[in-house]
Amino acid sequence: MMGNFQVELKRVVDDSYEIEIGFGLVDKLIADLQSGLVKVNKFAVVTDSTVEGLYAVPIAEKLLAAGFRADVFAFPAGEKSKTRATKEWVEDAMLEKGYRRDCCIIAVGGGVVTDLAGFVAGTFGRGVPFINYATTLLAAADASVGGKTAVDTPLATNLIGLFNQPKKVYIDVAAWKTLPARQVSSGLAETIKHACLASRELFDYLDAHMDGLMKLEKDACEYIAHENCRIKYEVVMQDERESGLREVLNLGHTVGRAVETVSDYRLLHGEALAIGLAAEVKLAGKMGYMTEEEQQAVIGLLKRADLPVTIPAYIDREAVVKKLYTDKKVKNGRLRFVVQNGIGSIVEFSEGVFAAPIEEEVIRDIIMKL
Ligand SMILES: NC(=O)c1ccc[n+]([C@@H]2O[C@H](COP(=O)([O-])OP(=O)(O)OC[C@H]3O[C@@H](n4cnc5c(N)ncnc54)[C@H](O)[C@@H]3O)[C@@H](O)[C@H]2O)c1
């Protein structure tokens, strides 16, 4: 007998997880695992070559000492490793060591590691749990909340991946101490972005505490780690799958990502974002949403965080304009931009619409002059 068969699969999921922010959280991680945070006792510690010796190996050693099984899988540090090839390498290395479905991945590192490891976890054995131990300010500021995991392709960043929520995120503010200064600045770019789009209060705090932050003063670091999570959470919780509101997190990223790709990753993500924010405030100014003073306040804060606000000479600006079209917000071949409204809020163009079509000529002009 022929016929159609309806597969009823309505799911109610609880993907809730905790983000713990603190100073040195390895012992807390071990204690959480001992009290059953995940139901397995085999841990693949995925990391990169720089973080390996600093934090990943010490974590693996403590796991072993606690009676768990653990192995470290380290790939070369840097955005250039965030590829399908690296994902495959991690998967094969895990399989070779006997890892199957009964394991948990612990990502130890920055956003490159957490993005890649979260993607591996999503497909390894059709999905295993994962935990993020974030060691950069950028990962704390941005990559920890939202459940986006991905790898880059030659065409553009983050094109292949999935939404996958970790079981828990640890933000170890103490780990920022070993970060190169450039990486600290890069992380501050996302923080400044969050302030621009959602919180005048955070913007003023950054303005008042930028010098202390650059010296990684503990209280200031914990405060911004918390505020970053709160702002991103509030946006993401209202819009888990990026329909409308979540696009506001793209502030500065349209030009930023294009510049990042065209620089061939000579610019760090946050540095490219800073340039993108500088372009975006000019756009907001042109559209009448920001005064000259407000634009200068944003640009001044980026500069105090040691971030670039102009396009470096080695970058082909025409190529940047072309790259804008690989942005995920492009609709029917038209560029769309998120625009800030003064400092601390975003323009809502119509109900639930936070990105507006912008003529290429307008943004080209800004890019050429930046
Ligand atoms: N999933 C998301 O929602 C999301 C959001 C924002 C950014 N991202 C992604 O995050 C990535 C950028 O994050 P990132 O800046 O953390 O990159 P990263 O992971 O490459 O880390 C930056 C560099 O710092 C090193 N490092 C990390 N922790 C260290 C420490 N404590 N001490 C010394 N060195 C350390 C790393 O080895 C690397 O060389 C990008 O790929 C971006 O796409 C993802």
Report pLDDT digits (tens) over 134-176. Answer: 999 989 988 888 899 999 999 888 899 999 999 999 999 999 9
Angle formed by the axes of helices 26-34 and 57-65, nearest 10°: 40
Determine what percent of the chain falls in helix, strand and coil, rounding each to the nearest 5. 50, 15, 35
Give the burial class of 140: count Cβ atoms within 10 A of its Cβ; 0-12 exposed, 13-18 middle, 19 or more buried.
buried
Instruction: Please tell me the distance from the alpha carbon of residue 17 to that of residue 122, in angstroms, as a whole number.
Output: 16
Which atom of ligand 1 is least distant from the CA of 48?
37
Q: What whole-number percentage of the chain has pLDDT above 90?
A: 86
In the reported structure, the alpha carbon of residue 139 is separated from the centroid of ligand 1 by a whole-number distance in angstroms of 6
Q: Which residues line ligand 1 (CB under 6 A)?
A: 48, 50-51, 54, 77-79, 82, 109-113, 115, 135-136, 138-139, 142-143, 146, 148, 157-158, 175, 178-179, 183, 186, 269
User: Among the atoms of ligand 1, which is closest to the Cα of residue 268?
Assistant: 15
Ordered structural domains, the chain, with CATH: 18-178 (3.40.50.1970), 181-369 (1.20.1090.10)
Give 142 Cα–ligand 1 centroid separation in angstroms: 10
Q: Report if pTM > 0.85.
A: yes
- The residues that bridge with 52 in the sheet, in sequence order, are none
pLDDT digits 0-9 by tens, 28-54: 999 999 999 999 999 999 999 999 999
Q: Which long-range contacts (CB under 8 A, 24 or more apart) does 180-184 make?
A: 181/214, 181/306, 182/268, 182/271, 182/306, 183/110, 183/136, 183/137, 183/138, 183/268, 184/137, 184/214, 184/216
How far does residue 6's CA lie from ligand 1's centre (Å)? Answer: 44
CB distance 359 to 313 below 8 Å: no
